Amino acid sequence: MPEVIAPEKPQPLTALTEDETLFRDNIRQFAEEKVRPLSKEMDEKGVFDKELIHEFFQLGLMGIEVPEQYGGGAGTFFEAILAVEELSRVDASAGVIVDVQNTLVNNALLRWGTDEQKKRYLPRMAAECVGAYALSEAGSGSDAFALATKAELKGNDYVLNGRKLWITNGKEAGLFVLLATLDPAAGYKGITAFLVEKDFPGFTVGKKEDKVGIRASSTCELILEDCRVPKNNVLGEAGKGYKIAIETLNEGRIGIGAQMIGVARGAWECAIKYAQERKQFSKPISEFQAIQFQLAQMATEIEAARLMVYNAARMKDAGINFVKEAAMTKLYASQVAERVTSLALEIYGGYGFTKDYPVEKYWRDSKIGKIYEGTSNMQLQTIAKLVIK
């Protein structure tokens, strides 16, 4: 793969095409009008609004890169990133639902699905079926390939037994890209990816987690008890699932970066508005240089993280190796989100510490960025491997 592209006229990283601008503006408007009014209640109840997911499908947000022949938007990865950022600016749970669908599940189907699997599943993914990506287990998180869910070939079916934990979209999903092992003793070489439908016999969704942040996004346990999965639902090659898991997550990490810059921007916008309204010592607190410097520092960090997210997404669309940039993007954007949302909360003073104002939610929602799709230590491990020769 080429390492450098030389466009005729290099453009700023934040330059968008006309189509991208229109796409982003539509989502921004949708997020403001449809998502924002529901965000607080969904967070309190810990349940995502079903009708809103239906609207995601209608707007084309659940099949952004799916080719037209399968009913998708035939868009770019960069557009998927814009969608995640804009939704997360208003509600990080909305952002992650769209993120998992596009950057993990559709992406895996598009890259590794057979023509027959694509025909069978992609039209559904673009129209009505929520997807989930099931790698983690109680005993295997960072050490993902130590997973214990076992798959055994019996006739024309694989029979799966085990439990998955922490699966985003678990409650809503109709299709799961699920990783199991054919032979635990073979280590990563036994790992195989399966396309598991929620109605397959022996498959059930277990407990839903009660979380600190992204509370409306469902995070569930999956239980496989002699779950029968047809042989032709193996995604890619048997025993090569580790490659699917690693490479899908590389793209996913740019999506989490986008979620984090959306969260940071949302909190920053609240903070600046509040700072201009709140008076102490007879003037708006935004007139104190200390507050101005905090807001300026936050804006600078968001800008830096955003450039990293956009660059990594453009690299992916250009077919350039982006593994290091994806890891750096997720690492940095999640650090920025945590810092910015925390400062935003402080700018609200005591009010920021209550549920009456929106910043505490941004702060809670930021925390997950350092944990899922590989913790910050795991990103550092990848980056270190690539930069220290």
Task: Choose one: 86-94, 220-228, 345-353, 370-378; the region binding ligand FAD (CB under 6 A).
Answer: 370-378
Binding characters for ligand FAD, 209-238, by CB under 6 A (x = yes) = --x--x----x-------------------
Q: Does 371 bind ligand FAD (CB under 6 A)?
A: yes
> Which stretch, 251-259, 308-316, 341-349, 366-374, contacts ligand FAD (CB under 6 A)?
366-374
Would you say the C-alpha torsion 210, 179, 380, 321 has a positive or negative sign? negative
Q: Which is nearer to ligand FAD, 362 or 372 (CB)?
A: 372
Closest approach, Cβ 316 to ligand FAD, in A, equals 20
The SS3 call for residue 220 is: strand
Q: For tokens 């023509």, what's the residue?
A: 115
Using CB atoms, what's the residue nearest to ligand FAD? 141
Pick the binder of ligand FAD from 20, 55, 375, 383 (CB under 6 A): 375
Q: Is 194 in the site for ligand FAD (CB under 6 A)?
A: no
Any catalytic annotation for residue 373?
yes
201, 254, 310 from 77: Cα distances, Å: 34, 10, 10
H/E segment holding residue 131: strand 131-134
The tokens of 158 are what?
């694989």
207: contact with ligand FAD by CB under 6 A? no
Strand partners, 357: none
User: For residue 29, what are its two tokens?
Assistant: 């408007």
The token pair that represents 322 in the structure block? 């982006």
User: Per rule CB under 6 A, is residue 204 in the interface with ligand FAD?
Assistant: no
- Quick check: 193 binds ligand FAD (CB under 6 A)? no
Instruction: Indicate the residue among 29 and 142 with the shorter CB distance to ligand FAD.
Output: 142
CA 34/CA 108 separation, integer angstroms: 29
Burial 137-170 (b: 16+ CB within 10 A, else e): beebbeebbebebbbeeeeebbbbbbebbbbbbb
Rule CB under 6 A: say whether 242 interacts with ligand FAD: no
Site string for ligand FAD, 122-141 (x = CB under 6 A): -----------xxxx----x
Considering the complex, what minimum distance in angstroms separates the CB of residue 171 from ligand FAD? 12
103 vs 219, which CB is nearer to ligand FAD?
219
Alpha-carbon distance of 224 to 200, in angstroms, equals 10
Alpha-helix residue ranges (DSSP H) falling in 129-281: 241-277
Reference 48, options 160, 203, 202, 169; nearest CA is 169
The residues carrying an active-site annotation are: 373
Q: Which residues bind ligand FAD (CB under 6 A)?
A: 133-136, 141-142, 166-168, 211, 214, 219, 368, 371-375, 377-378
